[in-house]
Each structure stands twice: as structure tokens, then as C-alpha cells.
Structure 1
């Protein structure tokens, strides 16, 4: 039986073509994708295409878009062997991370990709990214998908979606996975990093939960941040989870006012997460004096998670109505391969 892949267009640079008269980029009719990428005709599989009703620049994507996309894929889950999502690069890692949590026991691949140059550009990276993402989605062994997780494919490498982060706005190698190796590397052949892949329970079905709660506040700690800044920010925003991007291995300045403020937030039932600003490495509270106060307060550790994964995981767990103690336990647990 011929394999079937659903190609989903959400927006972004990949779906633009240059107007011959003005030189400006504009969206093309996604129904005519085969005209733009004729190589798709040679793929040994049935490739169906669908576009979301209102494609967006990825900077405009928000949790409601993640919910729509997740529901779209889940509604067609039994009809296809895999899914390839064309997405703008700026928030691709956020969307991929969110879907990785929303789908549990995922038994088919959901591969995100995009491009730095439009599909019609003579130097575009879109063709390789799309075609290889489809090939990865088609990989099977004994009728079972080789990759059964949410991934981000870009510039010859497939990364776990919730381990990926965008690191460049102008290089083709736009993404990296700082704390976890690539799942698949593309060269003359596709090399699968088999030991690193998530393995679903084949005796259980894939489930999807669209429940998200976006009351998550991210604060980047920096030299010069003051009591007034922190207090006014926390007082003016309706949030249930505070993620602090701290230095290095999770360190922060020593200040009595900060400890008092964090204690007050905890009394109000707020969950507080310590996530490192560093691209790679792990939060280890208590190693330095600067993080001992956080450890003593029972601040939640994001360990080696990306900021994108920490934010979307927090939204997912809030959406499941986790109580404060359960939230801490589950956040610090490895749910979808997002942390060690």
C-alpha cells in the first residue's frame, strides 16, 4: 500500500515568491505547491496538501494557533503515515515544543521545516528542507515509522522539536539542539541516531490534549534589574508561572528583596521556574551561592531544557490543571524527551 504524507502550510518565508515587477515577497497559492516544487512528483508516496485558513508570519503565531494545528493533525491522524509542517522559522521551535507535549504516545512523525529563503529564490534552501523532511517522515521499519516524535528538520539535521532552538537569522544552519544530539543526519544517505529516538508504546493509542494555559511570564535576569522593576512587572501581569532566565548554571544575584518577593509570589500560589540564559548546559541550583537561595526556596529547575520547551511545557501543565506540588513534580520530570 502506498504511503501517505500530509503537508501542512502555516505560513512563513518558505511560502513566499518574489513579485517579478516589484521584487517584494508575497504569499503564493498553496494549492499550486507542486508547481513551485515539481520534485514532489517523484516522491514515492501520496502527498496531500492543506493550508491553514489564514497563514501567518511565525512571529504572529500564538497558543491558539498551536491548538488549531494540533487539532488539524489529530483529525487526520489515522489517514496518513506522517505529517510535514511548513512553518516560519522565528517561532518554529515554540510550535514544535508545544505539539510535542500536546501529543502523548505519538506513534507517527510530525516534522517541522521551513526555509531562510523563499521557495522561488534561485538559492533557496526550501527544496532540500521540504524533500528531506518528507523522506524522513516516510522512513519505516517493518511497517512502523522509524521516527515517532515531533521534530525540526533544517540544513541536513533533524532535531527533537522540544530540544531545538533558532540560533541564526541569516545562515542556512538556523537551528541547533544544544543539549541533545541530532536524531537524523542527511548526507548521501539518511543516518538515523537510533538510540536517541523516542519509542512509543505500540499497544496504546496516540492521544491529544489541546488544553493550554498561557499565563506564563518570562523574565530575563540582567545586571541592573531593580526591586521596583521586578515588583511592578509581577504586579501588572496576570500570570500563574514565572520563568526566570538566570545566569550560567542557574545563578542569580544575592538580594534580600528578591528572596522576599519570590516567597510572596509562592504564597500566592505562583510556580517559579529557574531556566538558564545559556544556549547549552544545565541548571544546577546550589552549586554557587548565587543559586543557593533559589534552591532553599524550592524554586523549580528547568534543568537542561530550552526556554521554548520550558514555556510550552508550563502552558501544557497549567492546561492540565495541575496543583502546585504536582506541577513541580511533573515539570521536573522528563515527559517527552525534553530534558535529561
Structure 2
């Protein structure tokens, strides 16, 4: 059988840095010489090519323009490659993996995001294992077809659904978690794929790449004592098209009259308000408690068990494809790429 062709896409981040042994300074790694730097990659049963951003970026500078660049690279090379591995800084990786999951409609090949906590040239680096296993995950095939057909995120022995992840630790190698959805695969002595949790893509549909993301959104995190002036200022922003409301527990918020009225007025003006829980795990269930029943009554959108990262990406995506206002709530509350249960 023909070996799978895998394309490495380097955008920037810690994984692409090497440390000068004399000065200790970090500099960008030349991925054209990846086989020289990581000879173990030669043992992988696949063909590997690399492409890098002209100017690699820190993931803190990641934005929808760069998301479109990643999507464009995948679109141009989609027929020539069987899988893609995106090397990315970890800080905003969950946002990017979520965004690409929506932008790559009808995706039927693996797009695996990975990175590292330590530079690739560091003595104790986690970069080599993350990179090598991500390539292996992207290479998995059965009967000549990819096993994984979605956007994943691989870090520290676990493959997650990309739009289900959150970065939980800046210090440990286990930097990510998927609280509301099981791992897609785990790396040990063998690669164990949890096939029942994989996204089932329609192989007969053509890839459609959506590159327009509307960034006129905001995130409003509730806290005890939040002021009326703050909420009014945010909801009153004239360019705002959507707001993610980070509420307590299962979607609860203060039911003070001024708060509900501000939300109701904003929704009546056409603002889309999405209810997402501040809790790392669990789901929004508006109406379960009195403190969320009023949100449901005024038309707040339920984010169910979606992450804030995925909610932001989905909001930008749906605004970008210009879903009709009358259909927006229903569409957001519908699972499109496995981002919510």
C-alpha cells in the first residue's frame, strides 16, 4: 500500500524554537531540516513535507486572518495529502482548533494541532513526542481511508476533539483537557483509538472552506457585584453582533431587574447572546433554576456544554456565513462539528 502523505504546517510557538547551547537564547527552528534534527521521524511509515508561515508568530498574536491562512494551506494541498499536522503555540491552540473545525466544512481527513511546553531543542522537551505521535495519528488509515476525519488536538499522550479542549495548565506537560467529551485516542505502548467517539464525516461531500469570520463579538464573564454600568457599556457597543455570557453553574445569572432588562433590550436590537458556563465541566441547562429561567424566557441562546473557546469560534463563524437572524438561535444550539452534546 502507498504510504500516507502528511503535511506539517508550522505557524509558530514554542515547539518551533531551539535553544542556543552557548547563550541560552531561543531562535526559530528550520523545519526544512526536520529529519536532521529529529531522525526518529524517518522511522514513521509515511511521507512528510513541511510548510511554514513566512513569519512565524507567537500564538498570543493568533487571529482570524491567520486562521484563514491555515485553512488556505489545507485547501490548496487537500488532494495531495492524506493528513495535516498544524504546529501551533499552546496558549490559543484551543481557539484555533475550534475555529478550523468550523471553517473546514465536510472535512474528511485529519487535521491535528499540536505544540509543546518546552522548545524542541530543550533537553527535557515534550516537543518530539507530541510531534511524532501527531504525525502517527494523522497517518492512521483503514482500507485506504483516514481513521480520523476531524480537527484534533494532540498533547501529552492524548488526542482530543479540537473544539472540545481548554488549556488548563501553563506549567505541566498535560496542558489541555476535554472535560465534556472523551479522548479520541491515547498513546501508550500502542495507539489506542476510541473509534466510537470519532466524528463521522460524509466522504461523498466536497471540502468547503469558509474563511470569513466576523470578529464583532465579546465575552462577558459574570461575577458577584458586577455593575450595571459595565454591563450596559458592553451590551451597548454599536459594532457588537454577539456576546458570550459566562454564567454560573448550569447557566445561572443574577435575576436583578436591571440585568434582565439590559439583556432583553440588547436581544430585541438584534444582539445574539449565548449562555456558556464558567465551570470547566458540565452543561448549561436554562430553566433548571429560577436564576436561569428568565434568561431562557427572553431568548438567550443555550451553549449547552460548549467551551468558551468553541463558542467564540462558532459565533464568529455563524456571523461570518451570515445565518439568517430568525435561524441563528436554532443553528447555534445545533451540533455542527461535535462541539456540543
TM-score normalised by the shorter chain: which range applies?
A: over 0.9
| Native 8 Å contact 2:110 2:148 kept in 1 | yes
Is 1:260 matched up with 2:247?
no
Could you say what secondary structure the match of 2:96 adopts?
helix
Q: TM-score, normalised by structure 2?
A: 0.98
TM-fit CA distance, 1:319:
0.7
TM-fit CA distance, 1:29:
2.3
Is 1:232 matched up with 2:233?
yes
- Corresponding residue for residue 322 of structure 1: 323
CA distance in 1, matches of 2:323, 2:253: 27
Q: Which blocks of at least 5 consecutive residues in structure 1 are unaligned?
A: none
Could you say what secondary structure the match of 2:199 adopts?
coil
CA RMSD of aligned residues (A): 1.1
Is 1:137 matched up with 2:146?
no
CA distance in 2, matches of 1:236, 1:25: 41
TM-fit CA distance, 1:19:
2.1
TM-fit CA distance, 1:96:
0.4
TM-fit CA distance, 1:21:
3.1
- Corresponding residue for residue 35 of structure 2: 34
- Corresponding residue for residue 97 of structure 1: 98
CA distance in 1, matches of 2:319, 2:264: 20
TM-fit CA distance, 1:33:
2.2
Aligned length: 340
Deviations 1:216-253 (A, max 9, x none): 11011111111011112333462100111000100001
Cα pair distance change 1:136/1:338, threshold 3 Å: same
Deviations 1:113-159 (A, max 9, x none): 00000000111001110000000111011011000000000011000
CA distance in 2, matches of 1:53, 1:237: 36
Could you say what secondary structure the match of 2:236 adopts?
helix
Q: Which blocks of at least 5 consecutive residues in structure 2 are unaligned?
A: none
- Corresponding residue for residue 152 of structure 1: 153
TM-fit CA distance, 1:109:
0.2
CA distance in 1, matches of 2:291, 2:235: 21
TM-fit CA distance, 1:22:
2.5
| Native 8 Å contact 2:235 2:263 kept in 1 | no
- Corresponding residue for residue 335 of structure 2: 334
Q: TM-score, normalised by structure 1?
A: 0.98
| Native 8 Å contact 1:109 1:147 kept in 2 | yes
| Native 8 Å contact 2:98 2:309 kept in 1 | yes
| Native 8 Å contact 2:217 2:241 kept in 1 | yes
CA distance in 1, matches of 2:336, 2:131: 28
